[in-house]
Amino acid sequence: MAEDLYDILGVSRGATEDEIRSAFRKAAKANHPDVNPNNAGASERFKKITAANDILSDPEKRRQYDAGEIDAKGDPRRPQWNRSAGAQRGPFSARGFEGRPGATGFDDFSFSDIFSDVFGAGGGARRTTHGHRGQDLRYSLEVDFLEAVLGAKKRVTLPDGGVLDLAVPEGVTDGQTLRLKGKGTHGGPGTEPGDALVEIKIRQHPDFKRDGDDILLELPITVDEAVLGGRVEVPTPTGRVQLNIPKGTSSGKTFRLKGKGVRGKNGVHGDQRVTVKIVLPQDIDDSLSYFFSEWRQKHAYDPGRK
């Protein structure tokens, strides 16, 4: 006989929604394949726990299971006939296991609570129902700034222990959702599976910022580079390039590196905007102080202060 779904989660048939949710979280964390590598038993238990929760966390499916209308896999059962009354009923109806009318769903429950413990806050999934098709699984995936700019291959672990290989497209934006067709849960007989919807979260970069398809960078330069000019190295997402600093460059001056930004939806790259900032040496020695004191006496000027 098939295992009872309530027994798999370790709850009674009268368990509340919160009790089922708590039992599932506890069992899923303990048996997740990434927590139990090379443990086939834990992997199999995790699949059973997830399958049991898929039914018991859905009020309508739970009612159907309690009434004997579907089995532990969610497949319809053949109806039984009450010979005395001539009416159809499921195999559990004689025991009084009727569904609870008015029960509310678990649509707000998220696998992310489990994933945050196993993988950190960057991975997780929640389910969205679309009619009679399979459920969509929603994931949150963190990527580095440069991975978002240049594109990357990432791997997401699914609740059933499988993996989802994802190509993060070049130029993806923060909060953008990627849809993987047919990578959600399986629906009932004759229905199509749901999709996997992956929301991208981009980590901040210590130097680069993004403005549309442009990349912003603040570049420190020395006082002598500002006065005398020169060539300085500038980091870009694809490597360092040389930038010519003209003689007499002030802090706040912005230079544009054509095509060094993010690839836009139209396939054209934005620019990298480099704003220079003059940084004085930590130690102002006597020679530098004497030079500027002498220079100021003969070349004092007003930079526009009010």
Report pLDDT for 93: 32
pLDDT at position 159? 65
Q: Cα separation of 175 and 85, whole Å?
A: 58
pLDDT along the chain (306 residues), means of 10: 83 89 87 79 85 87 85 71 38 32 35 42 47 78 94 79 84 92 78 87 95 96 94 95 95 96 91 96 90 88 73
Q: Of 294, 283, 258, which is closest to residue 273 (Cα–Cα)? A: 258
pLDDT of 123 reads 45
Cβ partners under 8 Å of residue 144, min gap 6 = 152, 202, 203, 205
pLDDT of residue 245: 96
Q: What is the pLDDT of residue 127?
A: 52
Question: From CA 90, how far away is CA 96, in angstroms rounded?
Answer: 11
Q: What is the pTM of this model?
A: 0.55
